[in-house]
Each structure stands twice: as C-alpha cells, then as structure tokens.
Chain A
Amino acid sequence: MRNIIIQIVYYASVILFILGLKRMSSPKTATSGVEWAGIGMLLAVIVTFLFPNMHNFALILSAIAIGTVVAWIAAKKVSMTAMPEMIAMYNGMGGGAAAAIAAVELFKLSSDTSATMPITTFVLAITGALIGGISFSGSILAFFKLRDWLKNVYFPMQQIINLSVLAAAILLGFTLYFWHSNFILVLFFIASLSYGVLMTMSIGGADMPVVISIYNAFTGLAVACEGFVLNNIAMIIAGTIVGSAGTLLTLLMAKAMNRSLLSVLFARFGGGTGAAVEGTTKSMEVEDAAVMLNYVNKVVFVPGYGMAVAQAQQKVWELASLLLEKGIDVKFAIHPVAGRMPGHMNVLLAEAGVPYDYILDMEDINNDFPNTDIVIVIGANDVVNPAARTDKTSPIYGMPILNVDQAKQIFVIKRGKGKGYAGIENLLFFDPKCLMVYGDAKQVMSKMIQTLKEQE
C-alpha cells in the first residue's frame, strides 16, 4: 500500500515537473511554472519519508533543515549580477549529491569482498559518480572563476594530462567491479573530482556560460544514473529531462558563439590574439556625449557584462526613458552570449523594469544598425568586435556579432582601456565613428541623465 502511494505521488511530481518546465517557457506563465515544479518537489520529498524500514530520520531532517536555511539565505542575499555563479554553485551541489549517493551504494560493494551488484547497475552507478563528481568540482571551480578569484591556468601537455586523469578514473571504476576495495573507490573519486577541476581550469574567457550549461546537463544525467541504481523512476525522468534540455541549451549557446563543443572543452580560448591594430581611439567627455543625444532620432543600447558589474541597469533604463520622453526611438540589442550567460542581460534589464518590446535579439536588430544614429555600448566588448567578421587570425573569427559598426555614431562606455573577456583588441574602438567614454557605467549614466535634465 505504502509503495503504491509513493509511486502515485512520484508520478504526480513528474507530471508537475514537465508541466512546470513547459510553463516556464513563456514569460506570462513562468512564475507559476516554477511554483508547480516546487509543489512537485515538496510532494516527492514528503512521500519519500514513507519508504518502509528507513532509519536515521533525525539525521535526514537535520540535514534538510541546515541545507534549507543556508541555501535560502544565500539565494535571497545574492545580487542579480552574481546569478551565473550562484547557479553554478547550486548545480555543483546537485552533482555532488548524486556522486555521494553513488558513493554510499558503491561503498556497500567495495567494503565487502563477497558483495555483488548487477553489471548494468554497477556501470550506471560508476557513470553517475564520475559525471556527478566532475560536475561538483567543476562547478565549484567555475564559481571561483566567475568571482574572479581564480585565473585560467595553463601548463604544458595540459590536454594529455587531463585525459590521462579521466582515463585513470574510468579504469579505476572498472577495476572496482572485479576488486572490491575501499582504497580503489577512494582513488576513483579523487581522480573524478580532479578531472572536474582540471577540465574547468583550462576553459576560460568567453566560454564560461557554455561550461555552466554543460555541468547543468551533467548533473541531470548523473541524477538519472543514480535513479536507475535506486530504481527510482521519478529521479530517472527528472534527471534525463534536465540532461537533454541542458545539452540542447549548451549546443544553442555554443552555436551562438560559433564554437564547437569540442573546441570549447579541449582547445583553450584565445590561443591567438588576432592581428595587431594600428590607429588611435578617440575619447570624449560624458557631458558632450549627453548633449549629442538631443539631436538624434534612433538610439540603440548594447549592454554587456560591464553593465552588470557596475549595477548600471536601472540608470540605463532611466536614461532610455528620458530619451523616449523626447520622442527618440530607443531599443536594446542583446547578443546571445552578452554577459556571462544567455539571457543574463534580459534578466538585468527586466529587473530594471524595461518592457520586453524594447529588447531585441541579435537577428531582429542587426539590419537596423545602418538606420541608427547612435549606438551606446555599455560594458560590452567581444560581442561587438568587427574582427569577428574580418580578421581570420582572431580567435573570435566567425562568431556572429552585433553589427554596431554600421551605425552612424558609436559611443563606447568602458571602465578602462583593458581588453574584453576574450583578451583581444577590439577593432570597433579604432573606428573613426567610435567615441570612447571612459568611466564606471553607472556614473556615466547618472552624469548623462543629469546633463540632459539640466538642459530642459
């Protein structure tokens, strides 16, 4: 009887997950979507207490209580700008949990020489442990990198060493089937976790969103694998759905950057630096830039990671609103990989209250640039670099970009003279039509607003 109740509730949870995900695919129903999925999760967790002959209830409840309080506070406190690394962190925790489940099951095997496990179950447990472990350590490293606490690390023979560690992990995993030993099990986990670290260490720059997405898919698959091990259909379905959805999302992102998944994973980004640029950049004062905005018909804002860092989204919208009041046509152009996650800029602009109709994707706005009087680039760099179209030696050659160089005038608001995340020179800055406005994005926006208001 208990079993039937458990299965019915699990079935309902899975349906709620699928419907919830579907509702999340439209802005209008998105919030209710995650609430449906949340109800599914809550039901599944409660009914799991009904499993017959379970022990350690006090431990389970206290772990859930501690985890809930810590994760709740952290998730409430994190700023919207730090969202990518927060998703990476929570995702890593899921991968770690899947690996830990495998560890419990495999430990039962490894600590008893006479214990047996069906070969399919064993293979799935090991696979889940490997993928989950990689996702765990890899996501934590991605978190550190996105926080800028760690830089990319390169060393000689990197790919060969990385692949050897992966091969060692797989080999140790299979050895465990024939040779039940805790020592081998521990070595297997060390190798898996090390590979996650090594794999993420060499991936850098503009590829970080793709990596987070890969680990999201990885965790899903690891959860599905452990679902097979525990004979838990709900886990299998939820994990597989995330695995396939995450893989698709990863491919879409890689495509948007014109990078193959293999080159993201195994070739370091920015191997070349592109041709050296000759010429000079022109800069101007904020006030002068603001004044010029009075005499135009169409302005397009191109936000990038710099806007997120400066928390300038609200000031940007304030300036845009001011221009709208003057009867100027204002749009926001979003590159698929602007920021450090697809949709990152959309989230920030939505936070500031920018209506959807003003926000356009790359394909929808690229033809509009020749008719645009002024493009204001706020902290975006590589996604507007014309070298992607012209310079075959550039590491970003072939990446679709926003063709802002076709506009009549370009303002680039930038903190300093540094290069973009990919570490290459931006040809746009040397364009005679391009004027650099140096300063913190938020302060520049405030000054522009002030100047425009004073003129009224």
Chain B
Amino acid sequence: MIIDGFIAIYLFTLAAFTGYEVISRVPVILHTPLMSGSNFIHGLVLIGAMIALGYATTTTEIIIGFVAVLLATGNAVGGYVVTVRMLEMFKSKDSTNKGDNNA
C-alpha cells in the first residue's frame, strides 16, 4: 500500500484531530499516567525497527537496526509496565490500602 500526497495529508490531519480530542477530555488527575500511556503508544516504533533490521543487509545497517529494536523494545515494554503500575493505584477507590512501594 502506497501512501502519497493528499492521502498522507488527510491521514496526518485526521490522526492529529483524534489525538487532540481524546486528550482534551482527560482530567488533570490522570495527566501523568496519560503522558506515560501515550509514551507507551509511540513504542509502536518497534514494528518499524523490526522492519528496518529485517531488511538490513550491510553490517552497519544491521548494527544500527539492532540498536533500533533494542531501544524501541525499551520504550514499549518500559512504557507499558510504568503505565500499568501507575494506573493500578487508581483502581481501588475507597480502600486505604498501602502502596507496595517504599523504595
């Protein structure tokens, strides 16, 4: 599938509006988890990194591609775990349980 010209511009614009609309309804209380959640979502860069490494041929390309996959995995996995940990604290509304973290 080739994305070109105006299709690309439409795609970009509509996605931009979607992001704007989704965020503008978020209460302040969720801003940090949300920043973390959107940080996780751009971890999708991992599929691009996999493609880059998958089609790399020269040694230099392979090394850079490997680094790309490594970094992208860090973004996706780290972003996910951190977001889940943060959101878990919002789960039980009325409980007075102590968090598990005293580090």
Contacts and interface: CB of A to CB of B under 8 A. Distances in A.
Given A55-B54, A71-B77, A233-B1, A359 B66 contact: no
Nearest to B95: A353
A15 B67 CA distance: 29
Interface string B47-62: 1111111111110111
Contacts of B75: 71, 90-91, 93-94, 97, 219
B29 A343 contact: yes
B86 to A, nearest CB: 6
Contact of A241 (B22, B30, B46, B53): B22
Contacts of A57: 54
A242 B28 contact: no
Interface stretch (A104-112, A155-163, A196-204, A433-441): A104-112
Nearest to B69: A63
B30 A30 contact: yes
A235 interface: yes
Given A33-B37, A321-B96, A87 B12 contact: no
A90 B39 contact: yes
B19 A98 contact: no
Interface string B72-86: 111111111111111
Interface in A46-79: 48-49, 51, 53-57, 59-60, 63-64, 66-68, 70-72, 74-79
* Chain B binding surface, main DSSP class: helix
B31 A68 contact: no
A215 to B, nearest CB: 10
A245 B23 contact: yes
Contact of A223 (B8, B23, B48): B48
Contacts of A55: 54-57
Contacts of B50: 45, 48-49, 54, 60
A244 B64 contact: no
Contact of A355 (B68, B69, B83, B93): B93
B36 to A, nearest CB: 5
A256 to B, nearest CB: 9
A334 B28 contact: yes
Given A31-B84, A34-B40, A223-B44, A67 B70 contact: yes
Given A80-B99, A101-B52, A226-B48, A60 B69 contact: yes
A22 B23 CA distance: 8
Given A100-B64, A238-B42, A344 B32 contact: yes
Given A67-B77, A68-B77, A18 B31 contact: no
Interface in A207-221: 212-213, 216, 219-220
A20 B44 CA distance: 14
A33 B79 CA distance: 14
Contacts of A220: 38, 42
Contact of A101 (B68, B76, B93): B68
Interface centre among B3, B24, B42 (most CB of A within 10 A): B42
Contacts of B66: 59, 63
B93 to A, nearest CB: 6
A226 B8 CA distance: 13
A342 interface: yes
A193 interface: no
Contacts of B90: 27, 30-31, 350
Interface residues of A, number: 118
B89 to A, nearest CB: 4
Nearest to A98: B45
A34 B51 contact: no
Interface in A326-368: 334, 336, 341-344, 346-347, 350-353, 355-356, 359, 361
Q: Which 4 interchain pairs have the tightest Cβ spacing? A: A67-B73, A54-B54, A100-B68, A343-B31
Given A34-B40, A227-B48, A351-B101, 14 more contacts: A56-B53, A67-B70, A93-B74, A96-B67, A97-B46, A120-B4, A213-B35, A224-B15, A231-B1, A231-B2, A236-B11, A240-B19, A244-B17, A248-B23
Interface of A: 3, 7, 13, 17-18, 20-22, 24-27, 30-31, 33-35, 37-38, 41, 44-45, 48-49, 51, 53-57, 59-60, 63-64, 66-68, 70-72, 74-80, 83-84, 86-87, 89-91, 93-94, 96-98, 100-101, 103-105, 107-108, 111, 120, 212-213, 216, 219-220, 222-224, 226-228, 230-246, 248-249, 311, 314, 317, 321, 334, 336, 341-344, 346-347, 350-353, 355-356, 359, 361
23 contacts: A24-B26, A25-B30, A31-B91, A37-B37, A71-B74, A75-B78, A91-B39, A94-B72, A97-B49, A100-B49, A100-B52, A103-B64, A107-B61, A216-B39, A228-B3, A230-B51, A236-B3, A238-B41, A242-B39, A244-B15, A248-B19, A321-B96, A355-B94
